[in-house]
Amino acid sequence: MNKLSGKFVAGGFSLALVLLCGVGVASYVSIQRLNREKQWVIHTYQVIEALDNMRASFSNAESGRSSYILTGNTVYREIYQDEKQNVYQKLQRIQQLTKDNLRQQNRLEQLEPLIAQKFVLLAQSISLFEQNNLDTATKLALTKQGFDLCQKLQTISQEIQNEETTLLQQLTRVTDTLIHEIILVVSLGYGLSVMLLVVVYSLLQKQIQINQTLSKEAIHLEQQAAKANLANILESVTDAFVALDGNWCYTYVNQRAGQILNRHPADLIGKNIWEEFPEGVGQKFYHNYYQAVAEQRVIQMEEYYPPWERWLENRIYPSPEGLSIFFQDITRRKQAEISLEKNERRYRSLVLATSQAVLITDPHGNVVEDIPSWRALTGQSESEVKGWGRLNAIHPEDRELTKLLWNQALETKSIYKMENRVRVADGGYRFFAARAVPVLDANNEVIEWVGTHTDITDRKLAEAVLKQAKAELEIKVQERTSELQKLNEELKRSNQELEQFAYVASHDLQEPLRAVTGYSQLLGQEYQELFDESAQEYFGYIVDGAKRMQQLIQDLLAYSRVATRGQEFALIDCHAVLNLALSNLHMAIAQSNAIITHDPLPKLLADKTQLVQLFQNLIGNAIKFRKQEPPRIHIGAVKRDQGDEGKFPNSQSPLPIHNEWLFSVQDNGIGIKPQYLERIFEVFRRLHTRREFSGTGIGLAICKKIVERHGGQIWAESQPGVGTIFYMTLKEN
């Protein structure tokens, strides 16, 4: 019966779940259809609204023309021109919205010339008015023509509106039908699910009553087993354990406790602890036992027990029935701690013997004990040194920094180091190297600070002499730097002239190249059928050579323009830059089935056009130099702050890092041999023949020039057959 009920409950729940899932799927499909129909309804309303707006603009244009003719005010003529423009804009909007409706497009094709004719008549009337040639007969003729055109315009626009209204009614009926279907499906599904759940719930109630009866029996058995298990646990723990009742008699003693007490556990059961161990009366643990019972709180203590020559750790747990006591022998640990204290005292003695002055403070940096060596050094009295009084012996110019570094060390529990000037007993100042370390306990809390002061006056004097020599050297370096700056200016001017020459030369080269390309195309169109196989091959060489020459010139122009034609830096979103580059490469991405992913990208002050070219060149290379499998390309970005130099050991930058971003473009392509990783950024440097891979060998040189213009570096890491990672650094601002 129980098995059958369990199967029925599981089946009922499963069927209810299937029904609910079915209702959800059906509802989702219906809602998706409803949303599509809703979009068509909105679309139809947009067509009707655009048509009404066009009519209103047309009417406003006629009113503006009439007001201008009546008043001569040029404001009405401007209104006429604006509304005329609005009419054509609304017409284009209607054409765009109804491009999927052939009948409406035909009507709009009829409507557009009629509108043009109407505006021609209006323009004629304005022109005649301005020439004072608008007589009554002309007005009547123009009015009659305008009325006829208006009738035609009204007829066609009404047909357009009628059809859109009909479509709107059809879509509304379909939407209403879908809503009724959704309501029906959801109602039926949920109704059946509720019925199944009610039946299952009634069966569960019966099963719960049966289980409650069985649970009571199981609890009774478990309680008996728990008592047995507790005894096993207490015997297996490494701590000694005893239980005492309210009369201080033993109720349980485990084997480990028997070993420490040197008694058999069974011999102690029912006997009073103070009668069995009278030497314990008056000991520290004796008072703690009574305190735990009186205050009903847990007490933990350590005590040396002379009768046994042992250190014992006690954890006392009171209860209404008596005490539960865990204790263990900690003699070895305490002996180690005592030995450590002795070593610490020896260390302090050594420090006092080897340093000129020793400083010992509490965890907050306050001097609380007398420091004879410091008083002998500075001449301060014991009361003057207490607290932070030692700072009064520090030179006034060094005092604030000394206090600041002390506070930082106190907050971070780190070593304090400082070089400052200290007033010695004769009233003069000498340089000292101060150093203090925190003494920590087992919980990593500061117990005290121990510091030393070492006289470094002689070293400081030597450094002053060295500083003077360095200053003289810097003067010479500045003189040399001035000479180098002049040479750099001449070099910069020479580079500008070379860039201008390359730009002009590239433009001059394109003129004959266009002629070669143009006449080659004409030759191919007119006479290619007359070419034999050799002539066609030669003609192919001509066309291919012209294309490669044109691409080479364009790449040279791009290379020369990186530094001379760059835009001003502006705040740009690298997400938008990457999307533009991917849009430019969409054909190559689609043909190669490339999978491109990227990390969250930052906003930078940069040249947007050049960054698009940078990403486009690197991603394009990753697609071009791929293996047989589809390329996988990932663009990463990590912010590098000052102090991160060690995190990127392969970075070629010798300068410190100041808020820059490290970008990476990683692929799974054919890879590059290590000996070529430096040469690939040189102009015209190719690692493959043109039959293997197309290109001019300038793309990576352009990338390098763009990155250097933005104050960064670019380098590559690669493993042949595995892939390549291009790294580049760009400043955040």
Residues 101 and 62 in one domain: yes
Assigned domain for 112 exists: yes
Closest CA to 456 of 478, 435, 432: 432
For residues 522 and 481, state if they share a domain.
yes
Q: E strand or H helix at 677, and its extent?
A: none
Domain membership flag for residue 216: no
Whether residues 594 and 558 fall in one domain = no
Q: Are residues 603 and 561 in the same domain?
A: no
Q: Is residue 214 part of a domain?
A: no
229: in domain: no
In a domain? residue 664: yes
Coil/strand/helix, residue 661: strand
Question: Within this chain, do residues 22 and 168 fall inside the same structural domain, yes or no?
Answer: yes
Alpha carbon distance 721, 75 (integer Å): 74
pLDDT of residue 654: 43
Q: What is the pTM of this model?
A: 0.33
Strand partners for 633? 596
Instruction: Write down the pLDDT at residue 466.
Output: 86
Q: Which residues of 415-438 are buried (b: 16+ CB within 10 A; e: fewer)?
A: ebebebbbbbeeeeebbbebbbeb
Domain shared by 540 and 673, yes or no: no
Closest CA to 372 of 388, 357, 392, 389: 357
* pLDDT at residue 648 in the model: 47
pLDDT at 728: 92
Question: Can you tell me the distance from the alpha carbon of 20 to that of 635, in angstroms, rounded to the nearest whole number?
Answer: 43
Q: Are residues 467 and 412 part of one domain?
A: no
Last residue within a domain, chosen from 535, 565, 595: 565
Q: Which residue type sits at 243?
A: A
Residue 226 placed within a domain: no
Q: Residues 594, 588: contact at Cβ < 8 Å?
A: yes
Residue 135, domain CATH: 1.20.120
Other beta carbons within 10 Å of 588: 15
**592 and 552, same structural domain?**
no
559 and 537 in one domain? yes
Q: What is the DSSP letter of 444?
A: S
- Cα gap 346→593, rounded to integer Å: 74
Cα 261 from Cα 256, distance rounded (Å): 9
Comparing CA positions, the residue from 613, 602, 610 lying closest to residue 709 is 610
The answer to whether residue 209 sits within a structural domain is no
Round to whole Å and give the CA distance between 314 and 299. 8
What is the rounded distance in angstroms from the CA atom of residue 168 to the CA atom of residue 162? Answer: 10
User: Which residue, of 151, 182, 203, is where some domain finishes?
Assistant: 203
Residues 516 and 572 in one domain: no
Condensed to tens digits (0 to 9), the pLDDT of residues 222-252 reads 666 656 666 666 666 677 888 889 888 988 8
The CATH number for 258's domain is 3.30.450.20
Per-residue pLDDT reduced to its tens digit, 648-693 = 444 444 444 567 899 999 999 888 888 777 777 776 555 544 555 5
CA distance 518 to 449: 87
Domain count, the chain: 5
Give the chain's residues under pLDDT 70. 1-10, 12-13, 16, 19-20, 23, 133-135, 139, 189, 193, 196, 218-219, 221-237, 343-356, 491, 494-516, 519, 528, 536, 538-539, 541-566, 641-658, 683-697
Distance CA 189, CA 191 (A): 5
- Helix (H, G, I), strand (E, B), or coil: what is residue 730? strand
Structure tokens at 530: 């007359």
Verify that 363 and 466 share a domain, yes or no: no
Q: Which domain holds residue 546?
A: 456-565
Given a contact cutoff of 8 angstroms between Cβ atoms, the answer to whether 279 and 307 are in contact is yes
Separation CA 500–CA 497 (nearest Å): 5
Give me the phi and psi of 518, to 5 degrees please.
-65, -50
Task: Report the helix count and the strand count for the chain, using DSSP H and E.
Answer: 18, 16
What pLDDT score was predicted for residue 573? 92
Is the distance from CB of 688 to CB of 679 less than 8 angstroms?
Answer: no
Decide which of 278, 294, 329 is a domain's last residue.
329
* 129 assigned to some structural domain: yes
The pLDDT of residue 344:
65
Please check whether residues 643 and 672 belong to one and the same domain. Answer: yes
Q: CATH number, domain at 552?
A: 1.10.287
